[in-house]
Amino acid sequence: MSSQADTVQSNGLEAHGHLDDGRVHQWRGPSKRGAFRAMVQDFSPLWFTWCMNAGIIAILMHQEPYQFWGLGVLSTIAFLADFVFFIFFSIIMLLRLILFRRQAYHELVGDTSELTLLACWPVAWLTLTAFVALNVSGSSWGGHHFTIVAYVMWWIGAAWMLATLLFVFIALIRRRTLAEQPLPPTILIPTVGLTTVATIGGVVSTYSTAISARMAVPVIITSFCFVGLGLFMALIFYAQILQQLLHKGWPQPEQTATLFVLVGPMGQGSAALQLLGSAASTYGRFAGYNKGSFLTEAAGPPLEMACVLIALLLTGISVIGLVLALYAMFERAFNKELTWAPTWNSIIFPTGTLATSFLYFSMEMDSPFFRTMMTILLLFMISVFFLNLAFTAWKISQGQILVVREDPRMKQDGDDQKQR
């Protein structure tokens, strides 16, 4: 197609972009584009939330305490959807970074929300890692070979997430964009990514078939470091976001759903601590390692109990975040200001972190209450997923998202020239 040829010939087509030294960089390109060019050029990391959402739903269905015939099949279908989404979106994202590299860089680092959403890519990878550890390594055709695959995938995901974190915050520090913009709730997404590394580390070290203590213990120790870093950073941003809410009120109607991100760091941190404590003690990873004074069988049970206690404290914060987000959505609906936007994808994964926390509380305490609450949250997540799917399909068919043939950069450039 001619649009594909045009795409290959150009590295960047935005009407204007800001360089690191503050100068404005001009881009040239057609105002009307082909479907392929439009999809690649405008692709946002936000689309990786589809992978994250399908992945967390699949994990929870796989671990659901109230199992019924066919639920395992539905879980596998959700995991396969996660896999297909990840492959497709990764190809599009890589094409954007290759074919429009200068434009993509300036647009990503110039928009705080887009920059922080980059953390969704490694988180999506980690949901696939959980699939390999939970499903494939335990299948009749999988086995220990896929335990090795999950193990390697986890280390890749951990390194990828750490590199993304450093890139995001170094870019924010260098460009000082937050000095001129309000702090978006999406600033918490990299911290959710850090705690997700820890949670999936717990999954790999707990559920992977025939994983040895020598393999599991380095994952557990590294995961504790990740969850500590994620929680520490999240507490800092919580204070800033709460202060901003007190001064300026709720976000704009189309951004209200991003408040659900407040649930993520503490919910995922709670789940991570429970999984890691259980791996160390109940599943005997410390006993199998048996070195020093900490990595021993005797240290496992008190560590697990401490993890459960801290997890309860974190869950309280996460529940308050969920209540605030739900109230904001209901208030918008009551005032007839609630509108669907792609940001509604930020509802599912953070809610899933709290559901995961409830799941492991139900195991630790043999609690019907936590089992019921986990199931209610799972049903809520599935409902929102299909609601988002319906609205997204309709918006794509209308040419309003994903494939927008009219280049908004050229339109903005024309508006700027009229103002001059």
Nearest-CA neighbor of 76 among 66, 89, 62, 60?
Answer: 62
∠ at Cα 95 (17, 78), nearest 5°?
Answer: 115
pLDDT at 189: 97
- Tokens (6 digits) for 149: 């695959």
17, 25 Cβ separation under 8 angstroms:
yes
Helix (H, G, I), strand (E, B) or coil at 32: strand
Give all domains of the chain, ordered by start, each with its CATH number. 112-401 (1.50.10.150)
Nearest-CA neighbor of 46 among 240, 233, 263, 258?
Answer: 258
pTM of the model: 0.90
pLDDT at 11: 35
For the residues of 255-269, what is the DSSP string, one character each?
Answer: GGGGGGGGGHHHHHH
- pLDDT tens for the chain, residues 1 to 420: 333 333 333 333 334 444 444 444 545 566 778 889 999 999 999 999 999 999 999 999 999 999 888 899 999 999 999 999 999 999 999 999 999 999 999 999 999 999 999 999 999 999 999 999 998 988 878 788 999 999 999 999 999 999 999 999 999 999 887 877 788 999 999 999 999 999 999 999 999 998 999 999 999 999 999 999 999 999 999 999 999 999 999 999 999 999 999 999 999 999 999 999 999 998 889 999 999 999 999 999 999 999 999 999 999 999 999 999 999 999 999 999 999 999 999 999 999 999 999 999 999 999 999 999 999 999 999 999 999 999 999 999 999 999 888 888 776 555 545 555
Number of H helices, E strands in the chain: 16, 2
Side chain identity at 64, as an amino acid letter? Answer: E
In the chain, the N- to C-terminal Cα span, in Å, equals 36
Helix (H, G, I), strand (E, B) or coil at 340: coil
Nearest-CA neighbor of 202 among 130, 291, 294?
Answer: 130
Helix (H, G, I), strand (E, B) or coil at 404: coil
Task: Work out the burial of residue 122: count CB atoms within 10 Å of its CB; fewer than 13 is exposed, 13-18 middle, 19 or more buried.
Answer: buried
What 8-state DSSP symbol labels residue 251?
Answer: P
CB 316: neighbour CB atoms within 10 A?
A: 11
Side chain identity at 280, as an amino acid letter? Answer: A
The three state secondary structure string of 113-170 is HHHHHCCHHHHHHHHHHHHHHHHHCCCCCCCHHHHHHHHHHHHHHHHHHHHHHHHHHH
What 8-state DSSP symbol labels residue 107?
Answer: H
Which sign, positive or negative, has the C-alpha torsion 347, 350, 355, 358? Answer: negative
